[in-house]
Structure 1
Amino acid sequence: MREKTIDYVLRATWMSVAKMYNEEASKKGSTMATGFALISIDPENGTPSTSLGPKMGMEATSLSRTLKTMEEKGLIYRKKNPQDGRGVLIYLTQFGLEMREFSKEVVFAFDNAVKEHIAPEKLEIFLEVFQSINDLIASKKIYTK
């Protein structure tokens, strides 16, 4: 049955992508989660910590642990949000900016490799299908009982 379900193909593919990203990130002593966080943080203006979780699709506990590790490694620093004294903005250090560039290169290398091996019209259909799946999930019409 596993070869026949969309769920299986999605999970297996994402697990392969995650493993690949983690292998690349480990070359620099990092992880995929850290790389995605680095890419998600605005390099000029910082990013409110509360908006990072939804941006990355990460739960607060996991994000908190990731940010703590990133701070310990000298990738980020936190400052009070001048617009909202209760909030915190996350900024990249110089090392964080360098690692952000590495993370972007890893993502673009994967993107370019896929584009080199798969015809543009097939990729367009792939993206349309994934958008349709996301729309279906967002509509909450799958499990109606």
Structure 2
Amino acid sequence: MNSGELLNQLLIDLQSLFRTSFRKKKFTLSQINLISSIPINGIDMTSISSYLGIDNSTLTRNVNVLIKQNILKRDVNPKDGRSKLLVLTSHGMNVKLEFENIIEKIGNKLLKNKVIVDSDQFIDMLDTLHWEINKLKLK
């Protein structure tokens, strides 16, 4: 299997694993990614759209659903007083924490596998892969 095929299969398998792990939470994978990506101090729509690689209309639909569920809110950006930031509500922070715990459990299950001998080396390799993917996104 070449690197492109392997990356594609890894993406499909991770998406499937996440969907299965989050099934009881009643969120779409896109909503899970959005909630998991919002920093504590909030983020503007353009930045999160770019980070997630989705268009504004898709983001707006997801944001509106999550606002209705009291997970997100739009706050005025304190830096300029005009633009809006997406911010997690207290309920949203709890949901994000639940998501982080589920994701951590997935990671721990992978690391318990005897095929992965050195967990620190595996984490370093994932970190390097993440860095390389981000560099490609910036080109």
- SS of equivalent residue, structure 2 residue 76: strand
| DSSP 3-state at the match of 2:14 | helix
User: C-alpha root-mean-square deviation of aligned residues, in Å?
Assistant: 2.7
TM-score normalized with structure 2 length: 0.78
Query: TM-score, normalization: structure 1?
Result: 0.75
Listed as ranges, the matches of 1:60-71 within 5 Å are 60-71=56-67
Q: For the residues of structure 2 that align with 1:96 and 1:127, how far apart are their CA atoms?
A: 27
Report matched runs for 1:38-117 at 5 Å: 38-43=35-40, 45-117=41-113
- Residue identity in the other structure for 2:53: G
Which protein has the bigger strand share?
1
Native 8 Å contact 1:39 1:100 kept in 2: yes
Cα distance, 1:76 vs. partner? 0.7
Q: Deviations over 1:57-113 (max 9, x none)?
A: 333232222212211222111122132244111121222112111110111111112
Q: Which structure shows the bigger proportion of residues in helix conformation?
A: 2
Q: Deviations over 1:1-48 (max 9, x none)?
A: xxx3321211111111112212222201112222222222123x2222
Give the equivalent residue in structure 2 for 1:9: 6
Match of residue 17, structure 2, among 11, 16, 20: 20
Alignment partner of 2:75: what SS? strand
Q: Distance in 1 between matches of 2:45 and 2:29?
A: 18
Q: CA distance change for structure 1 residues 37 and 136 in 2, over 3 Å: closer, same or farther?
A: closer
- Identity in percent: 20
SS in 1 for 2:111: helix
Please list every run of 5 or more consecutive structure 1 residues that lacks an aligned counterpart in the other structure: 141-145
From the superposition, tell whether residues 64 and 137 of structure 1 become closer, same or farther in structure 2 (CA, over 3 Å).
Answer: same
Per-residue Cα deviation, 1:92-145 (whole angstroms, up to 9, x for no partner): 1222112111110111111112222212276267437736853884696xxxxx
- Structure 2 gap segments, 5+ residues each: none
User: For residue 143 of structure 1, what is the aligned residue in structure 2?
Assistant: none
Q: Is the 8 A contact 2:45 2:56 kept in 1?
A: no
